[in-house]
Amino acid sequence: MKRNALIILLLLFMINVMNAQQLVSTTPQKRNVLIEEFTGIQCQNCPSGHLIANQICSAYPDRVWSVNIHSGYYAPTYYPNFNTDEGEAIANGFNITSWPKGVVNRSTAEGLSRIEWGTHAGEQLEQNAECNVAGQVFIDTDNRTASITVEVYYTANSSVNTNYINVIMLQDNIYGPQSGGSANPDQYENGQYRHMHAFRDAITPTWGDAISPTTAGTLITKTYTYDIPYSIGSPNGITVDLDNIYFLAFVTEKYQNVPTRPILNVNKLISSGGSNDEVFPFISEVVVPTSFCSNEKELNVTLTNGGMGTLSSIDFQIYVDNNLVKTHEWEGSIESHHVSYIDIPVQIEAGEHEVMVKIVEANGVSFETSKTISLNVEEWNTITTNADEENLTIEIMQDKYGNQTTWELKSSDNTIIASGGPYNFLSGSSATELHQENVSVPAGECVKFTIYDEGGNGICCQFGDGYYRILDGEGGVVVDGGGDFGNESTNMISVVYSESDTNITEVSICEGESYTENGFNLINPEVGYHEEQYTDDNGVLQILKLTVVANPEVVIEGNTSIYLGESVTLTASGADSYLWSTGETTESIVVGPEETTTYSVVGTKNGCESSTEITVNVTVGVEENNLVKVKIYPNPIEDEVKIECSDMNEIIIYKPNGQIVEQICLNTDNYVLNVNGYDYGLYFVKIITRQGNTIHKIVKK
């Protein structure tokens, strides 16, 4: 009964999307990018290609996607066998005879080397797209059936009357061997390679499904039903894991009578499932649009109604690194098996973070589901100016291989406003040459500077001590970058306009302290960097750059239980310098307390301090039984002391620090101890008898 109900739901879903434009935008857009990377398990250099493709995708989230197509000489059929007939056909279509190679939006007749992908991707991203692509995949997990809807809306005319929709299935997190896998450490785990965005199947014909007309204003909707196999590949096929698959759709034109290229636009399809429950929301996707020089981020949440009823309210919780930072209440109307987009603003500090969007209530009923993404919020440098623009000077000190070095400066809308390189190859093993370029940046703009090295080893070290710097209009250093940056290095600069004078205060305080000077009032701020600003009564912009330094975590190690007369070594760690309650300043001290005593130490590191303490418990005497009777006189003593005790076998004299002064073996009940040679002070007498042991204090005066 459940399966029949779900089939009915699927039919209703298909009717709804066929009769109404649900997903695709009608607003003209820039072209998205698909990188088809031809690879193989036995290809030693392919992981470096995977790394480059991943970096391009990360730089342009939700605008660039990569697909790994295993084919050719380096793609064996042992497990995991990624080979497919469609993948081989695509590789042959672009004359792939060496690996790794790739095509970017199928804009070239043949494959490109990996060092060319970034440039071609940047060029494609700047072009206006003739059409927009969007869609949704509804997966019936019981029957392993995918119902796919793709919408194409033309915002301009295609150059040909017939285009082709392509839908492909990709899969992540497939573990297996890979030659050279350590070159891509993010996917290399315990000797196994984690294969990502692997091409698994083409839902449409290999070169696409023909569509027309292709003129501006045309909306085309195509639907497909795809039975998801349990395994793909023969022999040694790979299980198709429903939790790790996703679908891309793209539109191509026909080139030389073959519907292969170029790609006009591409997009990832929204995946969703379903339930017979009345309330069943889930988060299909969370996207964070790029926003430079701002901690205010907007989470674009794709919410799918997988239940039978209409969704009217959702309560969200937003967690950053497992800490609840925001709650958000949404009200609206999402019909059964429809999708809506919800924007949730949230403040996130700079750095690498795990961000979780969690649903805790739907239609007033408790419900729990979540989606977690990784987010890198970049730090930025601030320049304050009272002019309409700021003149920046970009300095590049190239190394010997200047022909491998390029750079670009982009505005907040990703427009390239300046670029440089490649430079000349220099003679001499460590030759350098300085290049300077002046660039004007409007006030209120945030720019992104990126320097690239095609060789992957920066611009320094064994081939010359190169570097890069960015100076403001007054010659102050805004960015001071070294040359050891690998493939690339990125810096953000915000140019802030202010009519007033500016006073910048840079100060460091310790954890637990507050800063309440110069009009600022930061009470016990968190460890890390803080930047605050305000305009005072005189019109001066006051900027505070505050660093809160963590206090050291000081600990003491040592024995906490001793007998009277023994000593113990106490050792502190966690700081750079120490001050003990005994007045000593060494890392370790030796103590021999006469009674239970607490010792403390203050540790200092990076100008900040913290303290801790330890208690040494002293057992005053050893009286193992009441038969040990001792008489010691006189006490205090000057020359001799008489000791009377039955069956004495040994007498040991200690100093308070545990040092043995004298050790006497005997077999008597009486003994006269001569202390003429002893220093003045306290001593301990330990008497060992057949009945037990005992310790007593004597004082030499």
What is the per-residue DSSP string for 397-433? EE-SBGGGEEEEEE-TTS-EEEEE---PBPSSTT--E
Report domain extents, the chain: 2-272, 281-377, 381-497, 502-549, 555-619, 630-700
Domain 381-497 grouped into CATH 2.60.40? yes
Q: How confident is the model at residue 177 (pLDDT cuts 50, 70, 90)?
A: very high
Q: Residue 10 pLDDT > 50, yes or no?
A: no
> If you search the block for the tokens 């959702």, which residue do you land on?
314
Mean pLDDT on 371-390: 88
What pLDDT does 603 receive? 94
Which tens digits make up the pLDDT trace of 33-45?
999 999 999 999 9
What pLDDT does 257 receive? 67
pTM as predicted = 0.49
What pLDDT does 253 receive? 94
What pLDDT does 696 receive? 84
Contacts of 19 (CB under 8 A, 6+ apart): none
Pair 197, 67: CB distance under 8 Å: yes
Its CATH class, for the domain covering 2-272, is mainly beta
> If you search the block for the tokens 């290809």, which residue do you land on?
43
Helix axes 117-125, 46-59, angle to 10 degrees: 20
Among 114, 122, 116, 119, smallest CA distance to 47 is for 114
Same fold, 2-272 and 381-497: yes
What is the per-residue DSSP string for 559-570? -SEEETT--EEE
CB-count exposure of residue 91 (10 Å: 0-12, 13-18, 19+): buried
494 token code pair: 């915000």
Which tens digits make up the pLDDT trace of 188-215?
988 899 999 999 999 999 999 999 999 9
Which tens digits make up the pLDDT trace of 565-620?
678 899 999 999 999 999 999 999 999 887 889 999 999 998 999 999 999 887 65
Mean pLDDT on 291-308: 86
Among 100, 130, 127, smallest CA distance to 116 is for 100
Which tens digits make up the pLDDT trace of 12-31?
444 343 334 468 999 999 99
Q: How confident is the model at residue 657 (pLDDT cuts 50, 70, 90)?
A: low
What pLDDT does 141 receive? 76
325 token code pair: 């930072």
Contacts of 637 (CB under 8 A, 6+ apart): 675, 698, 699, 700, 701
What pLDDT does 617 receive? 85
What pLDDT does 152 receive? 97
Mean pLDDT on 368-392: 89
Residue of 195 and 541 predicted with greater confidence: 195
Among 74, 4, 1, 85, smallest CA distance to 39 is for 74
CATH no. of 555-619: 2.60.40.10
CATH no. of 281-377: 2.60.40.10
Mean pLDDT on 647-656: 87
What is the per-residue DSSP string for 505-541? EEEEEETT--B--TT--B-SPPSEEEEEEEE-TTSPE
Which tens digits make up the pLDDT trace of 314-358?
999 999 999 999 999 999 999 887 888 899 999 888 889 999 999
What pLDDT does 21 receive? 46
Mean pLDDT of the chain: 89
Number of alpha helices (DSSP H) and beta strands (DSSP E) in the chain: 4, 48
Number of Cβ atoms within 10 Å of the Cβ of 623: 13
What pLDDT does 44 receive? 94
User: What are 150's strand-pairing partners?
Assistant: 135, 222
Q: Residue 701 pLDDT > 90, yes or no?
A: no
Q: How confident is the model at residue 258 (pLDDT cuts 50, 70, 90)?
A: confident
Beta strand 502-510 pairing with 568-573: unpaired
CATH topology assigned to domain 630-700:
Immunoglobulin-like (2.60.40)
